[in-house]
């Protein structure tokens, strides 16, 4: 991978890596750090890329970085009660509806694992088999986490 290839890779994929990270962390600064982690890691591990779908390779890396971050720092838990971070996403021009803010707030109350799966499947549109591969779990686990997340989310919204 040349410098130009790497720049092209960044141009093409950084927006969704940032979006996914922002949704997961609820923190623009943390999301920016995740993007840096992902692309620096991609550059260092470029020799390990065996061809095929580079987007899927990057997504696996992004999910790994996010899950590692969640495990070690418990950032999600810190932000559960952080209304400012929620507002940061929700007050963007395209997201400034009460409905969206309510949903973003409810998402923050979900446990990290269930939330990751719900975001990847229901919001980002990835298949369960891809999520299972990215998170290193079985498809059955992904399914039960997803359904639990929906149930919890629905309950949170109806409170």
Partner 1 sequence: MEHLDSEILNAHLDGLLSEAERERAAAHLSLCESCHGELRRYQRLTQRLRDLPHDFVPPADLWQRVQARRAAGRTWRYAARAAALIALLAGAFVALEMLPDIARAQKPVQQTFDVVEPATIKVFARQADVKVVGWTRRRVTVTGTLPKQQRLDISRQGAQVEIRSLGKGGKAGRLHLRIPRGYALQLETTSGDVRADSLHGSVAVSTGGGDVDIAKSVLEQTHVKTVSGAVTIAADLAENSDTRVDSRTGRVALYMTRNQAANYQITTFGGKVINELTPKGATDLPAPGRALVFSIGTGGTRVAVGTYSGDISLLPRKAP
Which H, E and C letters describe the chain, residue by residue? CCHHHHHHHHHHHHHHHHHHHHHHHCCHHHHHHHHHHHHHHHHHCHHHCCCCCHHHHHHHHHHHHHHHHHHHHCHHHHHHCCHHHHHHHHCCHHHCCHHHHHHHHHHHCCCHHHHHHHHHHHHCCCCHHHHHHHHCCCHHHHHHHHHHHHHHHHHHHHC
Q: Smallest distance from the beta carbon of 103 to partner 1, in angstroms?
A: 6
Residue from 24, 62, 85, 104 touching partner 1 (CB under 8 A): that is 104
Instruction: Determine whether 87 is exposed, middle or buried from the number of CB atoms within 10 Å of its CB (0-12, 13-18, 19+).
Output: middle
CB of 107 vs partner 1, minimal distance in Å: 9
Q: Which is nearer to partner 1, 40 or 138 (CB)?
A: 40
- Interaction of residue 15 with partner 1, rule CB under 8 A: yes
CB 20 within 8 A of CB 65: no
Report 107-146 residues binding partner 1 (CB under 8 A).
Answer: 118, 122-126, 143-144, 146
Q: Does 10 bind partner 1 (CB under 8 A)?
A: yes
Residues 28-67 that bind partner 1 (CB under 8 A): 28, 31-32, 35-36, 39-40, 43-44, 53, 55-56
* Binding test (CB under 8 A) with partner 1, winner from 100, 109, 137, 141: 100
Applying CB under 8 A, the residues found at the interface with partner 1 are 7, 10, 12, 14-16, 18-19, 22, 28, 31-32, 35-36, 39-40, 43-44, 53, 55-56, 89, 92-95, 99-100, 103-104, 118, 122-126, 143-144, 146-147, 150-151, 153-154, 157
């Amino acid at each position: 991978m040349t410098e130009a290839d790497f720049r092209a890779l960044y141009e093409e994929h950084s927006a969704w890596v940032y979006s996914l990270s922002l949704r997961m962390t609820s923190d623009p600064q943390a999301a920016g750090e995740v993007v840096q982690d992902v692309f620096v890691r991609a550059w260092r591990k470029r020799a390990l890329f065996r061809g095929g779908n580079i987007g899927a390779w990057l997504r696996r890396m992004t999910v790994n970085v996010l899950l590692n971050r969640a495990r070690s720092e418990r950032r999600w838990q810190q932000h559960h009660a952080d209304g400012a971070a929620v507002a940061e996403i929700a007050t963007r021009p395209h997201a400034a509806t009460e409905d969206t803010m309510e949903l973003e707030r409810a998402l923050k109350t979900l446990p990290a694992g269930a939330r990751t799966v719900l975001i990847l499947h229901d919001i980002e549109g990835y298949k369960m088999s891809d999520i299972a591969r990215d998170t290193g779990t079985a498809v059955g686990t992904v399914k039960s986490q997803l359904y639990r997340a929906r149930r919890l989310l629905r309950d949170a919204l109806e409170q």
